[in-house]
Structure 1
């Protein structure tokens, strides 16, 4: 990962936009859609700027001026000048999915967005709102933080009670809370990796990695496999020592017929 994906709250905030034409109009619509206010270069309250100037020299000069003021700058179609890039967006309010390539190919990001649009149900935003409204009820049902996280992970897993890629009735969240379901229990689990290709992981293996609090692994385990674990999971080279913390501990080993190459 060579960029940090973040979501900015631009509601009623000024964003400098320089340029005219199709590219600038597209950015103007994007800023307005997110609640921001397009302003000119003379605005001194803005902290973000987008340069959509067609002339190369003018664009380079504008980026230099804005960066000298301490602004974070995007230069349309000039990734080398960008502090940030704008992704392709799938909007299922309040669910927002952003697809970026670091400026390498806007066309690829667009193609992925179009493909994923067909997979995500229109009711995905409703599911998010119902989960938000049920926060207190969820905490009461699963009072432990780790226990609660594992229950939610299980419900949202493929084929789970609240699988986000499926349509759900209006009372689906309430039914799930009433019925319970603890998800992956705390304990130690061992996964035998048969291939360095992460696409060959089984659904069970992906679920365990996605629930792990700690992942123990050999030193030659490919980063692509480790990347399937929770983003905030602790990682440690497996030294077979005791003292692992409580929670879900996943130990990765190579299957007898597999290797790291």
Structure 2
């Protein structure tokens, strides 16, 4: 496959290659079959039962371990006292096996494939159609972490670090979101206002130290009513992308990229920087802001202003320090005169950065200039 050397403004350039496709599968009231009664099989069985699956375990009595017996006592699984066979795949949505040998694993995978049932053989990736990741469970918020089998311990370490970042009340806030979603969808059209509501929701969620109550629910309903009455307005943010290293972006720059509807970038912006942007954001490759190119500069101003007037949040992503040229200042002035709100997020220029130093520390100060 030909690798792109620079970011593009088409849809195919948004996502870097993935080793596997992460998906979340609804198994509620669906039949799942498991071959084997070992402790490893019991862990998979318990996970599937937690998803609401109807778990049938095919294993002879002498092969059922203590962990699987506990699941039987808890009525989370059904034991069928027989070895697995081809007929068990009928009506199954998923098949799991703990196989002692590669020959058995090969036979199980071939039988499941012939029956059209997705399958996984524990600890034998060559005989798996899908893999299980390391899970952070704040259901209905669920995070799954995979290293594509390269280093499961690394996935577990990542999970432990993620766990420390999430507030204990996250599950309750997510459940509250489910109760207000219908109201939000009925009163706020898809687009800037609806997304503004959910951004306010996120701010409330991560700033709270307690489980949400009725006051929080009423606050969310009030947010809906407030946004309904506000006129649709767009904004423009000019962001300095720095020397090209995504790790040198300021936190404010990253937040702007993740909130944008449309990102205009010049050819000095790296793919790594664009990878941090919101997936749904449209991207357009444009020329750099240049005071020596009057025609292109005028076209860029008209383009940015026209897009922002439609209510979109436009980010103009410029390599280096966004405030380094007089053309940027002129662009801000013109957009302000057009009645648009403009923010400026400074970046790191080449003079601020040396690749010779062993430890690269980004500038920590961030400047936001309001000209509206």
TM (norm. structure 1) is 0.83
Q: 1:67 to 1:139 in 2, by over 3 A?
A: closer
Q: 1:47 to 1:139 in 2, by over 3 A?
A: closer
- Structure number with bigger Rg: 2
Partner of 2:160: 114
Partner of 2:34: 17
Partner of 1:235: 283
Point out where structure 2 has 5 or more consecutive residues left out of the alignment: 1-17, 59-84, 288-298, 322-348, 356-372
The C-alpha deviation readout for 1:161-186, integer Å capped at 9, x for no partner, is 3327854542234225436578xx62
Paired with 2:221 and 2:275, the residues of 1 have a C-alpha distance of: 30
Paired with 2:238 and 2:154, the residues of 1 have a C-alpha distance of: 37
Question: Is 2:176 aligned against 1:162?
Answer: no
Paired with 2:156 and 2:208, the residues of 1 have a C-alpha distance of: 20
Give the structure with the higher percent helix: 2
Q: 1:154 to 1:208 in 2, by over 3 A?
A: farther
Q: 1:217 to 1:173 in 2, by over 3 A?
A: farther
Paired with 1:208 and 1:167, the residues of 2 have a C-alpha distance of: 28
Aligned positions, number: 256
TM (norm. structure 2) is 0.60
Paired with 1:66 and 1:51, the residues of 2 have a C-alpha distance of: 10
Partner of 1:59: 105
Q: 1:178 to 1:250 in 2, by over 3 A?
A: same
The correspondence of residues 1-261 of structure 1 with structure 2, limited to 5 A, is: 1-39=18-56, 40=58, 41=85, 42-43=87-88, 44-139=90-185, 142-143=188-189, 145-156=191-202, 160-163=203-206, 166-167=209-210, 169-170=212-213, 171-178=215-222, 186-219=234-267, 221-239=269-287, 242=303, 244=307, 246=310, 247-256=312-321, 257-258=349-350
Which deviates further from its counterpart, 83-92 or 47-56?
Answer: 47-56
Q: 1:218 to 1:244 in 2, by over 3 A?
A: same
Point out where structure 1 has 5 or more consecutive residues left out of the alignment: none
The C-alpha deviation readout for 1:181-218, integer Å capped at 9, x for no partner, is 78xx6233221111433333223212211111222223
Paired with 2:210 and 2:286, the residues of 1 have a C-alpha distance of: 41
Paired with 1:79 and 1:73, the residues of 2 have a C-alpha distance of: 11
Per-residue deviation, 1:59: 0.9
Secondary structure of residue in 1 paired with 2:44: helix
Which deviates further from its counterpart, 210-219 or 138-147?
Answer: 138-147
Paired with 1:229 and 1:110, the residues of 2 have a C-alpha distance of: 26
Is residue 238–residue 251 contact of structure 1 (8 Å, CA) maintained in 2?
no
Q: Which has the higher contact order (CA 8 A, sep 6+)?
A: 2
Secondary structure of residue in 1 paired with 2:144: strand
Secondary structure of residue in 2 paired with 1:25: helix
Q: CA RMSD in A?
A: 2.9
Q: 1:147 to 1:217 in 2, by over 3 A?
A: same
